[in-house]
Amino acid sequence: MKKNEVPQDDANMFEGKLREPCYVVDENGKYVTEQSVGWDAKNAVMQQAWDSINEKVEKIKQKVLDGKLSPLAYHMEKNQMDVKLLSKYVGLSRCKVKKHLKPKHFNKLDENTLKKYGDALLLSVDELKKLND
């Protein structure tokens, strides 16, 4: 692709703030990078991926509202984290993290453990205990 052919089809997903380098051929036939805000095909795929992620987040949110899961599950899903990753961030076993996904165990957590989770998820303890929206 030539430098003047780099797609600039901004789907407004990132409001033009996210640009990605593309390797293109300049007027001298040399490879250079040119910034692109995206192109239609890629934007469509990215939108589908985000729609899928948001759908999963909403399902987890409903389970939290129904009392089946703790708010920790919602924040994990929202941050695209799984039990294994979060356990490494907070320094707890996977079994303990899984246990804390249940409301009855989450509600008994001490401030220190809640702070560890909050720090890993970039939330205050108060934000961790509730659903934000």
Same domain? For 9 and 62 the reply is: no
DSSP-derived secondary structure for 83-120: HHHHHHHHT--HHHHHHHTSHHHHTT--HHHHHHHHHH
25 occurs within a structural domain: yes
First to last CA, the chain: 43
Same domain? For 15 and 79 the reply is: no
Return the CATH number at 105.
1.10.260
> How many structural domains is the chain composed of?
2
pLDDT above 60 (res 29): yes
Q: Which residue has the higher pLDDT, 18 or 86?
A: 86
Rounded-to-integer distance, Cα 2 and Cα 30, Å:
10
Same domain? For 66 and 110 the reply is: yes
Same domain? For 20 and 73 the reply is: no
pLDDT above 70 (res 8): no
Same domain? For 61 and 100 the reply is: yes
pLDDT recorded at residue 102: 97
pLDDT recorded at residue 15: 60
pLDDT digits (tens, 9 = 90+) for 33-57: 878 776 677 778 878 998 999 999 9
pLDDT digits (tens, 9 = 90+) for 79-110: 999 999 999 999 999 999 999 999 999 999 99
pLDDT above 60 (res 14): no
47 occurs within a structural domain: no
Same domain? For 61 and 122 the reply is: yes
Length of the chain: 133
Confidence of residue 28 (pLDDT cuts 50, 70, 90): confident
43 occurs within a structural domain: no
